[in-house]
Amino acid sequence: MQIRRITLNRFGRLHGTYDFQPDRCNIICEHNEFGKSTLVDAILFGLYNMPRAKATGGLRARDKYRPWSDSDTQQFGLELLVEDLDGQDYRIECDFAANNGYRVINLATGEQFSGVSSFGRHFLHMPLASFTECFLLRQGDGDENGRDELIELIQSASAGEQTSHIGAVQHALEQLRDSRSRFPEFVTSETEVPLSQELRARIEACEARIRELEDAHDKATWDAQRLTALQEAEQQLHADEAELELETAATELAEIEEQIRGGNGSHPDEGCIPAAEGGAYSKDAARDVEQMLSELEKARAELSEARRRLDEDIIDRLRRLRELESVNGVVSELPENEMERLRSRSAIYRERKAEVDRQRGQTDAMREGLGSHNIPQPDFQELEELLDRLPPGDNRILLQYESRQSEIEGQLGQAQTQSAEASAQVSYARSRRKKLRNESNLFFMGAVFLGATGCLFLLMNAVWKPALWVGLTMIALAAAAAAAGTRALKRTHLHDTMELQPALEMEARHSGETRRLTEQIENLRQEFKITTQRLHLTWDDVQLMKKMSKWSGVILPYQTARQHLTLAEKGCAEVREDIARFLRRTGFPLPRNGVTDADIETAIQQAEAGMSFDQMCEQLNAEGARLMERIEQLEATAARFEQKLEEIVGDESGTDVSQRVQSFIQKCDHAGVVQAAVADAKPPVAIEQLTERADILRTLLSDARGLSRTPVMSLEETRARLDEIRKQQQDIAAESQILSGKCERAFDACREELSGLRAEREFLLEKAARVGQTEAALAIAREQIEAAAREIFVAWAAALSKRVNEIITAVNPGYRDVEISEDLDLSVFSIEHNRRVRYREIGHLSKGARDQLALALRVAIAEYLSSHIGPLPIVLDEPFAHWDDERFMSGIQFLASLVERHQVILLSCHKWRYEQLARENPALYRELAFCQIA
């Protein structure tokens, strides 16, 4: 494709026409801010129409290039004449002031293409971004970080990126590594844990809480049923209580009737109180008596408790004294130094026991820690048994063999590679030395030959006059050859010192390292072999060792900890046996064999107690005395209350004071009834009162339909039964209250939390499924991008290598043999330094050299990308900014030759360079076409 002409109609600050030559390098050389970049954009907008979208952080293109004067807004556009890939001419008319002002007209037929809004998309089948990449080669700006921007240039182009400063593929892969950013609701979690794992943990926590609440619900349901049963039992007790109250009434009625019958027979019952005696049995008296009885019973209870404690203390003291008596006998006979020895041994024993406990804890913790390494348990147990059978030193050799071997083999491989490289360097240095040596030999031989011949000619001087001059010339040439030989010899020596010697030393060092590692690996194998043979290990054992070798880093420390534990236990057992021997010798009752830690601990405690036997006796006596004193106080209190009560209720031997008090209270009640009758001004006749009471009871029983019932229990029995029932009621009420509270809390918790928790679990499960799918999709995308990148890189490497070599030799003869590996790593052979500059070193080349390589790459990339649609014009924006004069000349020459393939448009602001070119190389200057706006 060729651009013939562009006519700008108040496009930004540009207004006029540019004509471009198809077969010459078109140069637009203008000062800064003239509008060179505007011209490039105008060409692009002509081919692709003006984009409507706003550039990131900038103006819309329409606003950016709108005419600067407001009066010109009606005229804003351009016209482009192009020749397409098939040689057809088109005119592209763009009126940016109007809507839909884009037209493409075939100049041969005058036909306008309807519906074409972009020449590039329609005729070139390329989006603007792809076309720009082939069309426009901007000045590189990636020199500030000194990195290998050339590789990035290829990578970015292969990924379709122009502006990225980091590897596009790496960036894409990095983006695909993280699934969290695709779920905004989880982005805030500040954790490195993968999202799926975090969700699993949250679901598990949620389910655990749900299970906990459900269990609590089940238990509460059971408790609620139990509560119902308790309430039914309580109702039953209420019924029983009512029944017993009736029974009490019936019994009392029977007794009253008996009394009445007794009264008629002139045998007043003792329960029948004459009204006159009522004054002694008042309600206040009953209350006082009841209170005193309560105090008495309290004092008796405390007394009983104190006696019980004293009894227990006495028994305990006697038991301990009896136990210690024998020990005391033993201990008291021991000399002081033996006692001290026992103390110190006991202290050592306890220290060692504490150490054993510590070691055991540590070992257990390590054992638990092994679980997190996914070590197969059956194999591990088998290995543990095997390692226990083997000497500790051999364990390490056997278990680390596989990993050590891999490690050394890795080092060996590296050393062999380095050794091979060093050998190659030596070979190269030797061949070069040989060449230099041959060169010097040749010069010396020539010198000898010329000298000898010269001498012969001198001798012939007598017979042939010109022989003198010939001889002298040959001798002079011989001298020159000798000097050249000497210089070559010096270069040989210099080469020996600077290159051959270091190369030999390096070769020797790497060979030595290789030998050392080979020996090391051989020794390792030998050691392993000898050890396995010595220990008679089976094939399975060896395979097990190899299999578990990758966990040797955690198994061996655990094994060491176990060994330490065994040693600590052994040390502890030794001290224990020592103490046991000592105690047996001194007469302590210890078992002859199998003394346990508990035995020893008991014996030590006994011995310590024996040592403080007297002190203990004093303590026990003091406690006994204190208890005895308290008992005496309580006895006195009880006696005082008893005496007072007897004064009131009478001293009747054979009857318990509480029974007498109860009888007294009853009499007080009866007295109250009698006194009430007296208050009614009726004759205080006991029989009448009894009759009245009987009537009340009959009415009560009649209401309850229990009038005909016959009492089966005495009044006391009935009351005792009533007390029992009321106590049961109290117990049930207490249990009911506890159960009710528990149920209430459990059900409340369920109703508040379970619904929300289940909803949360649903939400998390749904999210986890989506996260799982997303992570799977991301993994597939990563894998496919990597595979695509590999394929693309291989294709690009092959395509670019040849063309870049052609271009670089044209623009910079100091470099050749550019190699682009399948990983897009770039290297180039520097003729000046006579060595290959590796891709990491390219960043250290001069900016000019890197720009020349970049130009070669950009042209090669543009050609590669557009090869299937034919040559496209290439616009170069200030490519020679950092080039020296010589390279500038080469560059211009290259661009002049590039017009055979592409139309070239060069933008520059360095006019003096072209003036210099006109002076120094007028022929080349004439091949250029300088364009100016008309």
Partner 1 sequence: MTRAMSTVRFLQLSGLIFDESAARHMRDFSASRWRDLRIDAASSLREMTSIIEEQRVDAVLCPGSILDDKSVDIALATEIMGRFGAVAPVPVIIAPGKNDPVHQFSLYDPAYFRRKVGGAFPRNVDVLRPGSRRTIAALPDVDFYASPAPDQLVRPDALNILLASEPHNVDLQSSIRRFSYVACGGDEIRHDLTDADENTRAAFTSLPLLTPETREYTFVIAEVDEQTASVKRITMPSSATHHLETAHTRDTFDLPGDDADEDATANKRISGRFVHRMRQLIADASSDSTEHQAILHHALRYGLDALSEETR
**Touching partner 1, residues 256-275 (CB under 8 A):** none
User: Which residues 754-813 are close enough to bind partner 1 by CB under 8 A?
Assistant: 754-756, 758-759, 761-762, 765-766, 773-774, 776-778, 780-781, 784-785, 787-789, 791-792, 795-796
Site for partner 1 in 65-124 (CB under 8 A): 121, 124
Chain centroid offset of residue 595 CA: 50
- Secondary structure (H, E, C), 146-209: CCCHHHHHHHHHHHCCCCCCCCHHHHHHHHHCCCHHHCHHHHCCCCCCCHHHHHHHHHHHHHHH
Sheet holding 928-930, edge to edge: 136-137, 874-877, 904-908, 25-29, 928-930
- By beta-carbon proximity to partner 1, the closer residue of 115 and 654 is 115
Query: Is 163 a residue that touches partner 1 (CB under 8 A)?
Result: yes
Q: Which of 33, 204, 212, 214 binds partner 1 (CB under 8 A)?
A: 214
**Residue 121 or 147 with smaller CB distance to partner 1:** 121
Q: Which is nearer to partner 1, 23 or 174 (CB)?
A: 174
For 610, half-sphere exposure in the C-beta direction (CA atoms, 13 angstrom radius) is 25
**According to the binding rule CB under 8 A, does residue 868 interact with partner 1?**
yes
The answer to whether the CB of 390 falls within 8 A of the CB of 510 is no
Q: In this structure, what DSSP letter does residue 460 have?
A: G
Tell me the window of 211-219, 471-479, 612-620, 636-644 that interacts with partner 1 (CB under 8 A): 211-219
Mention every residue, 6+ apart, whose C-beta is less than 8 A from residue 135: 44, 862, 872, 873, 874, 875
Quick check: 543 binds partner 1 (CB under 8 A)?
no
**291: Cβ–Cβ under 8 A, 6 or more apart, which residues?**
none
| Cβ nearer to partner 1, comparing 599 with 760 | 760
Q: Which residues between 140 and 159 bind partner 1 (CB under 8 A)?
A: 158-159
> How many whole angstroms separate alpha carbon 187 and alpha carbon 181?
6
Does 702 help bind partner 1 (rule: CB under 8 A)?
A: no
Q: Does 750 bind partner 1 (CB under 8 A)?
A: yes
Quick check: 749 binds partner 1 (CB under 8 A)? no
- Span near partner 1 by CB under 8 A; candidates 126-134, 698-706, 830-838, 849-857: 126-134
Shortest reach from residue 777's CB to partner 1, in Å: 4
CB atoms within 10 A of CB 556: 16
Q: Which is nearer to partner 1, 179 or 689 (CB)?
A: 179
Which SS3 state, helix, strand or coil, does residue 610 take?
helix
Q: Cβ of residue 175: shortest distance to partner 1, in angstroms?
A: 4
Using CB under 8 A, which of 85, 116, 203, 224 touches partner 1? 224
Q: How far is CA 282 from the centre of its chain?
A: 85
- Kindly state the smallest distance separating residue 868's Cβ from partner 1, in Å: 7
The secondary structure of residue 655, as a DSSP letter, is S
Residue 452 near partner 1 by CB under 8 A: no
- Residue 560 sits in the site that holds partner 1 (CB under 8 A): no
Residue 650 region, left (φ>0) first, then alpha (ψ -120 to 50), else beta?
Answer: left
* 477 sits near partner 1 (criterion: CB under 8 A): no
Residue 137 binds partner 1 (CB under 8 A): no
Instruction: Using CB under 8 A, count the residues that bind partner 1.
Output: 68
Contact window for partner 1 (CB under 8 A) among 217-225, 288-296, 669-677, 926-934: 217-225
The C-alpha torsion from 531 through 532 and 534 to 539, rounded to 10°, is: 180
Provide the Cα torsion 365, 366, 372, 377; round to 10°.
-110
Q: How far apart are CA 153 and CA 146, in angstroms?
A: 14
Q: Does 431 bind partner 1 (CB under 8 A)?
A: no
Cβ 824 to partner 1, closest distance in Å? 11
Q: Does 318 bind partner 1 (CB under 8 A)?
A: no
Judged by CB under 8 A, does residue 138 bind partner 1? no
The alpha-helical segments, DSSP class H, found in 682-714 are 686-703
For the CA atoms of the chain, what is the radius of gyration?
A: 58
Smallest distance, partner 1 to C-beta of residue 773, A? 5
- CA separation for the pair 672, 567 (Å, rounded): 88
Amino acid at 548: M
Angstrom distance (rounded) from CA 131 to CA 49: 13
Q: Which is nearer to partner 1, 124 or 426 (CB)?
A: 124
Query: Does residue number 816 form part of the binding site for partner 1 (CB under 8 A)?
Result: no
Contact between 171 and partner 1 (CB under 8 A)? yes
Q: How far is the CB of 230 from partner 1 (least distance, A)?
A: 11
Tokens linked to 124: 């070139």
Q: Nearest distance from residue 743's CB to partner 1, in Å?
A: 5
Number of C-beta neighbours around residue 343 at 10 A: 14
> Among 145-153, 224-232, 304-312, 807-815, which window interacts with partner 1 (CB under 8 A)?
224-232
Residue 927 in 3-state DSSP? coil
Instruction: Identify which range of 233-241, 502-510, 822-830, 865-873 contacts partner 1 by CB under 8 A.
Output: 865-873
Residues 6+ apart with CB under 8 A from 50: 61, 62, 65, 94, 96
Q: Which is nearer to partner 1, 609 or 781 (CB)?
A: 781
**Does 175 participate in binding partner 1 (rule CB under 8 A)?**
yes
The only residue of 21, 106, 164, 416 in contact with partner 1, by rule CB under 8 A: 164
The three-state (H, E, C) secondary structure of 38-88, written as one string: HHHHHHHHHHHCCCCCECCCCCEHHHHCCCCCHHHCCCCEEEEEEECCCCC
What SS3 string covers 828-880?
EEECCCCEEECCCCHHHCCHHHHHHHHHHHHHHHHHHHHHHHCCCCEEEECCC
> Binding string to partner 1 for residues 607 to 636, with x set by CB under 8 A, is what?
------------------------------
Query: Rounded distance, CA 38 to CA 775, Å?
Result: 46
The tokens for 24 are 């010459």
- Residue 746 is given by DSSP the state H
β-bridge mates for residue 875, sequence order: 136, 905
The footprint of partner 1 on residues 349-408 (CB under 8 A) is none
Residue 869 binds partner 1, judged by CB under 8 A: yes
Which range of residues in 370-378, 526-534, 739-747, 917-925 is near partner 1 by CB under 8 A? 739-747
Q: Does 206 help bind partner 1 (rule: CB under 8 A)?
A: no
219 forms part of the interface with partner 1 (CB under 8 A):
no
Q: Which is nearer to partner 1, 456 or 795 (CB)?
A: 795
User: 827: Cβ–Cβ under 8 A, 6 or more apart, which residues?
Assistant: 818, 819, 821, 836, 837, 838, 839, 842
How many H helices and E strands in the chain?
26, 13
**Residue number with CB closer to partner 1 (226 or 564):** 226
Q: Is 160 in the site for partner 1 (CB under 8 A)?
A: yes
Window contacting partner 1 (CB under 8 A); options: 76-84, 220-228, 699-707, 834-842: 220-228
Nearer to partner 1, 861 or 898 (CB): 861
CB of residue 741 vs partner 1: minimum separation in angstroms?
11
Angle between helices 392-459 and 467-495 (to 10 degrees): 170
Instruction: Write out the binding residues for partner 1, residues 826-855 only, by CB under 8 A.
Output: none
Residue 204 sits in the site that holds partner 1 (CB under 8 A): no
Instruction: Find the part of the chain contacting partner 1 (CB under 8 A) among 244-252, 702-710, 747-755, 806-814.
Output: 747-755
CA dist., res. 668 & res. 219, Å (int): 53
Q: Give the binding site for partner 1 (CB under 8 A).
A: 121, 124-127, 130, 133-134, 158-161, 163-164, 168-169, 171-173, 175-176, 182, 210, 213-214, 217, 220-221, 224-225, 227-228, 743-744, 747, 750-752, 754-756, 758-759, 761-762, 765-766, 773-774, 776-778, 780-781, 784-785, 787-789, 791-792, 795-796, 864-866, 868-869
